[in-house]
Amino acid sequence: MRQDRFHGRIGSGSRDCDWPGCKEPGEFRAPGPRGSSFDGPGDYRWFCLDHVRQFNAGYDWFEGMSADEIMAAQHPIHGWDRQTRAFSPTAGIDQAPRWADFSDPLEAIAQRARAKMPSQRSDGRAVTPDERRALDVLGLALDATRHDLRSRYSQLVRKYHPDRNGGDRSFEARLQAVVEAYQLLRRAAAFC
Q: What are the residues binding Zn ion (CB under 5 A)? A: 17, 19, 22, 24, 48, 51
| C-beta of 30 vs 71, nearer to Zn ion | 30
| C-beta of 81 vs 104, nearer to Zn ion | 104
Q: Please, what's the largest Cα pairwise distance for the chain?
A: 71
Is 180:151 a contact under the CB 8 Å cutoff? Answer: no
Q: How far is the CB of 29 from Zn ion (least distance, A)?
A: 13
| C-beta of 20 vs 139, nearer to Zn ion | 20
Q: How far is the CB of 77 from Zn ion (least distance, A)?
A: 24
Nearest to 190 by CA among 139, 138, 122, 114: 122
| C-beta of 46 vs 191, nearer to Zn ion | 46
How far is the CA of 179 from the CAs of 21, 53, 54, 116, 163, in angstroms? 36, 44, 40, 23, 16
Q: How far is the CB of 24 from Zn ion (least distance, A)?
A: 4
Q: How far is the CB of 31 from Zn ion (least distance, A)?
A: 16
Crossing angle, helix 80-87 and helix 172-186, to 10 degrees? 110
Is 30:49 a contact under the CB 8 Å cutoff? Answer: no
